[in-house]
Chains A and B, each alone.
Chain A
Amino acid sequence: DAKTTQPPSMDCAEGRAANLPCNHSTISGNEYVYWYRQIHSQGPQYIIHGLKNNETNEMASLIITEDRKSSTLILPHATLRDTAVYYCIVRVGKNTGTASKLTFGTGTRLQVTL
Chain B
Amino acid sequence: DAGITQSPRYKITETGRQVTLMCHQTWSHSYMFWYRQDLGHGLRLIYYSAAADITDKGEVPDGYVVSRSKTENFPLTLESATRSQTSVYFCASREGGKETQYFGPGTRLLVL
Which residues of chain B are near A97, meaning CB under 8 Å?
A: 50, 56
Which residues of chain B are near A87, meaning CB under 8 Å?
A: 42
Q: Looking at the assembled complex, report how far the CB atom of B9 sits from the nearest CB atom of chain A, in whole angstroms.
A: 10
Binds B, one of A20-28, A63-71, A73-81, A104-112: A104-112
Q: Closest residue to A91 on the B side, CB-wise? A: B99
Question: What is the bound-complex CA distance between A87 and B35, given in angstroms?
Answer: 15
Contact between B101 and A104 (Cβ–Cβ < 8 Å)? Answer: no
The binding surface of chain B is classed by DSSP as strand
Among B42, B48, B94, B104, contact of A106 (Cβ-Cβ < 8 Å)? B42
Chain A, interface size category, equals: 20 to 34
Instruction: Count A-B pairs with CB separation below 8 Å.
Output: 55
Q: Within 8 Å of chain A (Cβ to Cβ): is B75? A: no
List A46-103 residues whose CB lies under 8 Å from chain B: 46, 49, 87, 93-94, 96-98, 100-103
The 9 A-B pairs of least Cβ separation, nearest first, read: A43-B103, A104-B43, A104-B42, A46-B100, A101-B45, A44-B103, A106-B42, A43-B90, A105-B42
Contacts A/B (CB < 8 Å), 27 sampled: A42-B106, A43-B92, A43-B103, A44-B90, A45-B103, A46-B99, A46-B102, A87-B42, A93-B99, A94-B97, A94-B99, A96-B50, A97-B50, A98-B56, A100-B31, A100-B94, A101-B33, A101-B48, A102-B33, A102-B43, A102-B101, A104-B35, A104-B42, A104-B43, A105-B42, A106-B40, A106-B41
